[in-house]
Structure 1
């Protein structure tokens, strides 16, 4: 719906119906191979950067006598910054992954430019080099940084609130509540993600 000319679809249901009718059910999964291959790397980098930054701030808090006995209670600004750093680190990998995904999703079904993700990478790199692979990276980094800043700030603040309210440790929070908190943070991230597009507008070099 974001890439089609205005008026092509009446809404989400009409769009889904048109894709199913014209391209078949597998069309809903076009371009998903690269995200599936890259998601593990993205998440690993993201949480590695997040935890490193949180520990850095916790150490600073201990030195300055803040954040509780061990400095682990981070401020909202520290949590947001940790999320921003995680998003930037994640964006280094997620940017090219999403670029290739969008290329495959938006190409013509009748006369496709690319035979698959590896063919897309080969052709884009062959024609434009590494800059072509990373086209649209600046706006993707903006989205990832702001989005994950909000995501982890929301999640951690809810966790802190629950711990303070019930007088419990972090590891005593029930798995169900952890899922609910994650979903809440995910909705906050989703709202911001919708406002800051990634590379949907860079589908043509």
Structure 2
């Protein structure tokens, strides 16, 4: 195992497979994400619920408005998931090399523990925050423009948005909300830990009438694991998006100040704004993305860290 793990091929296949995962997320889920972001960052009482938000966007701005801000994630999510899943794969290999393993039932081999998968997810989430923060910052600002006519919008596109942010706060202004992004992306611990738990549960069905194929198990585990992830992550997601939604010509807010503002406006329930459309989006987006990722990993011949 160690010799194969050290090969350059094995080290980069996670990044390659992550590109496919990122593009899948944008194609399947960006419309849901726009609804979520509007609900989180608009003034209270702007929208009654997710259906009201969706209908107002389509009625007032056209159906294409659901894909406002899609350009940064279309370009960026491929890179973000490449970094996220590529680093995840390498953190898994590293932890295996450090002995964070357990015996594989019915085999002489060993595999990474559940805790190891969670730790790898945590570190991968932090790593991906470096690239995800500026991409998400641009996405949020573009999604919140409610004007139907492009000529009436503050930002004409992602490049113009980036220029205005840099003009006001310098290059580091693009990383506004970084602390919120770190808190949010810490929850990949739950995503990949629960994914592994579910994959093992499905593997225990082999040889029974309820057995499912590995691709089907990937799809179901990705979708169900995303529910665990988002229930844990939605408070930090609210804080992150509110930090990023602050107009570029205003001072950058802190994590603590933003959290206090959310509590002042809606109590602790305010941390869970947007959970409805998030959960609706979570299963198809993450099930599809992890199905693509795991399928590409098998196709590219990556060494397995689970059995």
**Same fold, judged at TM 0.5 (above):** yes
Aligned 1:79-158 pairs, distance under 5 A: 79-109=117-147, 111-146=152-187, 148-158=188-198
CA distance in 2: counterparts of 1:199 and 1:130, whole angstroms: 19
Structure 1 residue 91 displacement after superposition: 1.3
> What residue is the counterpart of 1:192 in the other structure?
232
**Distance in 1 (alpha carbons) for counterparts of 2:229 and 2:73:** 19
Over aligned residue pairs, what C-alpha RMSD do you find? 2.1
> Do 2:184 and 2:240's aligned partners in 1 also have CA atoms closer than 8 Å?
no
What CA deviation, in whole Å up to 9, does each residue of 1:134-174 have, x standing for no partner? 0001111111122x11010011122234445648xxxx952
TM-score, normalising length: structure 1: 0.86
Change (3 A) 1:92 1:122: same
Could you list the structure 1 runs, at least 4 aligned residues long, displaced by more than 6 angstroms after superposition: none
Match of 2:40 in 1: 2
Q: 8 Å contact 2:119–2:189 — kept in the other structure?
A: yes
Q: Verify the 8 A CA contact 2:195 2:225 in the aligned structure 1.
A: yes
Contact 2:80 2:132 in 1 (8 A): yes
The whole-number CA distance in structure 2 between the counterparts of 1:107 and 1:135 is 18
The answer to whether the 8 Å contact 2:202/2:217 transfers is no
Give the Cα–Cα distance (whole angstroms) in 2 for the partners of residues 106 and 162 of structure 1. 41
Q: 1:16 to 1:108 in 2, by over 3 A?
A: closer
User: Following the alignment from structure 1 to structure 2, what is the Cα–Cα distance between the partners of residues 101 and 152?
Assistant: 25
Q: Name which of 141, 159, 169 aligns with 2:199.
A: 159
